[in-house]
């Protein structure tokens, strides 16, 4: 029997896939990545075995996710189409990497996933997996199987006694991990309709947020956050705490129509409190310590990097080259930023760094001024000379 490692979530799709693959003579090994989605993995593991998986691997990838995927994206200032902090997109190459690792471990010849043929995630999983091992067969049942609707799938599940979690019945498609939450489908498919309050889980409505602002200081070392209000925290704990702080203050809701890689425009809602705070703070710190040319040059490169992540090109040479570039730019992005969190807004109200290029003696209009204004005349003449 051929062995296949399935990226299993415990939901309806991947549960049906176990049976579907078995019907095609595969020995199915389920693989679950824990990236902070707060599921009861014991329950899901039992469900996979009951459905027919011969074995289940649950792998805790939380630390690795933040350290090796989220932090590089933070250093790069990567935000897709200026709004999406890429929580889902960043998790895919990590899951694919471990799926391939488990395939090797189990001597499987194939891997499978539950993505549809319309999304970005199929691309991210498959491009990554093929870059790591081009010989693995890749199976994407949802793209080819016979079910047209969710109802048909549920029927198939019932006929085949596949245990599915009925309490999970929701009109929305949700992807969640430590770094953020993505919500689509249902009424959200109409971009004119305001998202109903019920879709949000990580953030309170700004209207219900506290009437007093919360101040928080985030300290960075070489472009990544290391302390919150003076306290050193491990990456994982740090992200969790910023998610809580931001969420409590109604920060991190994003409503977008975005351009998918397959050409479709889709409407998606994101909740990413920690990402919102971190990106806002780091950007301001950069403004303080980077020279003008570096600062301006970096922006389009950040956009490019965000595209690479979004397009599933994490394991490519270019992504690694840009990592080297961004690491270099972050050499001096160390210091502290004070944020004011208030009813959905995150405002930077203070910044300091031992590498600051801000010189009060040059900027001031007061007594301390050392800037020689007479030099400006010659500078301006030469500046305009070429034209």
Contact residues for ligand ARG (CB under 6 A)? 88-89, 120, 173-175, 182-184, 268
Give the CA distances from residue 51 to residues 30, 83, 357, in Å, rounded to whole numbers and listed in that order: 10, 39, 61
| Rounded least distance, CB 242 to ligand ARG, Å | 21
Integer Cα distance of 218 and 338 in angstroms = 6
| Rounded least distance, CB 314 to ligand ARG, Å | 12
Neighbour order of strands in the sheet with 214-221: 231-232, 224-228, 214-221, 335-342, 345-352
Q: Do 218 and 241 contact (CB within 8 A), yes or no?
A: no
| Rounded least distance, CB 178 to ligand ARG, Å | 15
Ramachandran region, residue 250 (left: φ > 0; alpha: ψ -120 to 50; beta: rest): left
Residue 284 has which token pair?
A: 């301001």
Of 9, 47, 91, 92, the catalytic one is 92
Q: Do 336 and 219 contact (CB within 8 A), yes or no?
A: yes
Closer residue to ligand ARG (CB): 126 or 268: 268
Known catalytic membership, residue 34: no
Known catalytic membership, residue 15: no
Question: Which residues have C-beta within 8 Å of that of residue 297, sequence separation ≥ 6?
Answer: none
| Rounded least distance, CB 53 to ligand ARG, Å | 23
* CA-closest candidate to residue 319, choices 73, 142, 147, 82: 73
- Which helix (H) or strand (E) is 157 found in, with range? helix 150-159
Hey, is 311 helix, strand or coil? Answer: coil
DSSP label at residue 195: P
Residue 380 has which token pair?
A: 């301006």
| Rounded least distance, CB 18 to ligand ARG, Å | 20
Known catalytic membership, residue 47: no
| Rounded least distance, CB 90 to ligand ARG, Å | 9
Residue 316 has which token pair?
A: 């490519």
Closer residue to ligand ARG (CB): 175 or 286: 175
Integer Cα distance of 101 and 123 in angstroms = 19
Closer residue to ligand ARG (CB): 86 or 277: 86
Of 9, 91, 121, 353, the catalytic one is 121
Of 54, 130, 173, 295, the catalytic one is 173
Closer residue to ligand ARG (CB): 119 or 250: 119
Closer residue to ligand ARG (CB): 257 or 362: 257
Known catalytic membership, residue 92: yes
Closer residue to ligand ARG (CB): 13 or 175: 175
Residue 228 has which token pair?
A: 């919150």
Question: Which residues have C-beta within 8 Å of that of residue 33, sequence separation ≥ 6?
Answer: 7, 59, 61, 91, 94, 95, 98
- Catalytic residue numbers? 13, 92, 121, 173
């Amino acid at each position: 029997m051929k062995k296949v490692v399935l990226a299993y979530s415990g939901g309806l799709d991947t549960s049906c896939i176990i049976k579907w693959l078995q019907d095609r003579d595969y020995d199915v090994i389920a693989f679950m990545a824990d990236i902070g989605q707060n599921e009861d993995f014991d329950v899901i593991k039992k469900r996979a075995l009951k459905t027919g998986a011969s074995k289940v691997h649950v792998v805790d990838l939380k630390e690795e996710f933040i350290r090796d995927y989220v932090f590089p994206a933070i250093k790069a200032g990567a935000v897709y189409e200026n709004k999406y902090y890429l929580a889902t997109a960043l998790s895919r190459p990590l899951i694919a990497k471990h799926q391939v690792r488990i395939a090797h471990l189990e001597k499987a010849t194939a891997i499978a996933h539950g993505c549809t043929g319309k999304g970005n995630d199929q691309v991210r999983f498959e491009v990554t997996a093929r870059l790591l091992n081009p010989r693995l067969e890749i199976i994407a049942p949802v793209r080819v199987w016979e079910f047209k609707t969710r109802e048909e799938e549920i029927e198939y599940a019932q006929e085949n006694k596949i245990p599915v979690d009925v309490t999970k019945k929701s009109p929305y498609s949700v992807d969640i991990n430590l770094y953020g939450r993505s919500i689509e489908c249902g009424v959200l498919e109409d971009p004119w309709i305001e998202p109903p309050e019920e879709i949000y889980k990580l953030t309170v409505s700004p209207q219900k947020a506290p009437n007093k602002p919360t101040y928080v200081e985030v300290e960075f070392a070489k472009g990544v956050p290391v302390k919150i209000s003076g306290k050193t925290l491990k990456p994982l704990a740090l992200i969790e705490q910023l998610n809580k702080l931001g969420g409590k203050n109604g920060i991190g809701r994003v409503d977008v129509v975005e351009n998918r890689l397959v050409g479709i425009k889709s409407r998606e809602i994101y909740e990413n409190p920690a990402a919102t705070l971190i990106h806002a703070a780091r950007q301001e710190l950069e403004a303080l310590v980077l020279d003008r040319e570096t600062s301006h040059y970096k922006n389009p490169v950040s956009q490019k990097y965000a595209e690479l992540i979004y397009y599933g090109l994490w394991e490519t040479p270019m992504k690694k080259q840009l990592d080297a570039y961004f690491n270099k730019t972050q050499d001096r992005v160390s210091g502290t930023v004070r944020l004011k969190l208030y009813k959905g807004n995150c405002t930077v109200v203070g910044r300091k760094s031992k590498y600051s290029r801000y010189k009060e003696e040059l900027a001031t209009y007061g007594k301390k001024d050392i800037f020689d204004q007479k030099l400006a005349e010659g500078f301006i003449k030469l500046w305009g000379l070429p034209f």
